[in-house]
Amino acid sequence: MPKSILVVGASRGLGLGLVAEHLKRGCDVIATVRKPADEPALKVLPGTERLTIHHLDVTSDADIARLAADLPGPIDVVFINAGVSGPRSVTGASPDELNAVMQANVFGPIRLAHALSDKVREQTGVLALMSSIMGSIGENTSGGMEVYRATKTAQNSFARSLWLGSARSRGVTVLSIHPGWVKTDMGGAGADIDVQTSATGMADQLAAHAGSHAHRFIDYSGREIAW
């Protein structure tokens, strides 16, 4: 069981659920939100005496540098949960719209992961990124949401390169995690599972993979997803 975790993108939905679950498990939690107005839901959670809040926009190099400088170390788990759904069609979107979703879903999170990799505890630490089964090429049998799919595929590729470099050399495990189809603003009311089910499952996987010294693409239940 990790003693400390950083959850990036924690103001609502799955990020908030991960914070709540780890506070319930007795962890020291560091959470990031984009602005002060995003803090209220965090501040009413049980266990907030073990919660620290920082402000971060993952697309801002200045914010990334400031967070990296301010964070204590080592941290048992760093979980980067950031992303937007983006435009539905690659041909119907403008170059600016396409660039914005790539910055939010791919380049920002991965640049943050690189900046924080040396804060993750050596040998037993876990660096996790919120991926999606929609980033799987092998399991894409329906098409649709092509821009979002491509951002998660690219994020998975960057995560593998990160693991092969600085993370593996320090014994840090990298996980690309699909949270399931969850009832959130992005997932919609018709989704399969609720936030609590997903957050509990992901927390279990973070604990189970400490020290596994691998990069895996899994879902919240631990099922291996095809690249």
How much is the pTM? 0.95
Whether residue 187 has pLDDT greater than 70: no
pLDDT value at position 1?
A: 75
43-76 pLDDT, tens digit each? 999 999 999 999 999 999 999 999 999 998 899 9
Residue 37 is assigned to a structural domain of this protein:
yes
Give the model's pLDDT for residue 24: 97
Please name every residue paired with 182 in a beta bridge, in sequence order, or none if there are none: 193
The arithmetic mean of pLDDT across residues 20-39, rounded, is 97
Q: Collapse the DSSP code of 94 into the 3-class scheme (helix H, G, I; strand E, B; otherwise coil) and give the result.
A: coil
The pLDDT score that the predictor gives to residue 186 is: 64
Q: Which CATH number does the domain housing residue 54 bear?
A: 3.40.50.720
Range of the domain at 25: 4-219
- Residue 225, in any domain of the structure: no
Residue 178 is assigned to a structural domain of this protein: yes
Q: Is residue 224 part of a domain?
A: no
**Does residue 226 form part of some domain?**
no
Instruction: Tell me, yes or no, whether 32 lies in a domain.
Output: yes
Integer CA distances (angstroms), 45 to 48, 72, 87, 106, 109, in order:
6, 22, 33, 30, 26
**pLDDT one-digit tens code per residue, 96-145:** 999 999 999 999 999 999 999 999 999 999 999 999 999 999 999 999 99
User: Quick check: is 166 in a domain?
Assistant: yes
**Number of folded domains in the chain?**
1
Q: What is the pLDDT of residue 182?
A: 81
Judge whether residue 189 has pLDDT over 90: no
Q: What is the pLDDT of residue 73?
A: 82
**pLDDT tens per residue across span 132-179:** 999 999 999 999 999 999 999 999 999 999 999 999 999 999 999 999
> Does residue 152 sit within a domain?
yes
